[in-house]
Amino acid sequence: MKMERNALLVGSVIGIPIRLHISLLLVVGFFALSSGAGFLWILLLALGIFGSVALHELGHSIVARLFGSYIHDIMLYPFGGVARISNMPKRPESEMLVALAGPLVSLLLALLFWILGFRLLASLNLMLFGFNLLPAFPMDGGRVFRAILSKRKGRLEATRIAATWGKYICIIFVLYGIFSPSVALIFIGIYLYFAGQTEYRLIKMEYQTDPFGTPDDLPGIEVSPPPYAKNFEKKWKDLFRS
């Protein structure tokens, strides 16, 4: 195992490296040591939770790869996972299939865990399924929403509408997070708010530079459940520059 990009490389599945970000290691370590529930129990629970998140991301990644995308890696953070994908499919039908693949995996896992009697992991996966399908662009449901709109309004206008809806839903997340209170939800809401706006700006740029086509050398797209990476855009640009 080695450290790279502030993360521990724990292995790879069908050639896709799976990394645990250092913040995740710290959070799990903290809970394992401070919780009264027992060290081993917390570690097993973390394995179940983040294994489920990794499988959700693998669902997106495998379908994207079928459409010719390149998957750099899957990074797991305390609040979710991010798959770094180059050359994401842009046809609405393909985009919709990639977006739906993650929630579908979560739904199947929920059923599996339910049958096996792991109720906690079953409900967690059901939550991953439901939450990610909310039409809050750039979450999975928001991508499905954009893909449907793209058929009639074109990709740029569809992204504008989906990102606007996403913005309002994020404000609801933050307000709900304040009153619950849930720090995670506040964080996710703020992160998604800016991620959605950034992606809309990038697509606008894409159209301004080349109105007749969509070049593939622009920053790729991160996939939820709640995408959660600092300086993500910058890392993408560095990646394409080198």
Closest CA to 4 of 80, 73, 78, 79: 73
Residue among 57, 199, 206, 222 flagged as catalytic: 57
**What is the Cα gyration radius of the chain?**
18
**Residue corresponding to tokens 């739904």:** 107
Query: Which x/- pattern over 8-47 shows residues binding Zn ion (rule: CB under 5 A)?
Result: ----------------------------------------
Q: How far is the CB of 185 from Zn ion (least distance, A)?
A: 17
Say whether residue 140 binds Zn ion (CB under 5 A): yes
Q: Choose which of 81, 102, 142, 166 interacts with Zn ion (CB under 5 A).
A: 102
| Residue number with CB closer to Zn ion (132 or 150) | 132
**Do the strands 2-4 and 7-13 form a parallel or antiparallel pair, or are they unpaired?**
antiparallel
Closest CA to 132 of 83, 175, 85, 87: 83
| Residue number with CB closer to Zn ion (28 or 144) | 144
Say whether residue 61 binds Zn ion (CB under 5 A): no
As a whole number of angstroms, the distance between CA 28 and CA 49 comes to 11
Say whether residue 226 binds Zn ion (CB under 5 A): no
Q: How far is the CB of 29 from Zn ion (least distance, A)?
A: 26
Q: 18, 76 in Cβ contact below 8 A?
A: yes
| Residue number with CB closer to Zn ion (17 or 102) | 102
Phi, psi angle pair for 90, to nearest 5°: -110, -15
As a whole number of angstroms, the distance between CA 155 and CA 185 comes to 29
| Residue number with CB closer to Zn ion (7 or 53) | 53
Say whether residue 95 binds Zn ion (CB under 5 A): no
CA–chain centroid gap for 111, Å, is: 21
Closest CA to 219 of 82, 88, 67: 88
Say whether residue 125 binds Zn ion (CB under 5 A): no
Nearest residue to the partner Zn ion, using Cβ: 102
Catalytic site includes residue 233: no
Say whether residue 132 binds Zn ion (CB under 5 A): yes
Interface residue list for Zn ion (CB under 5 A): 102, 132, 140, 224
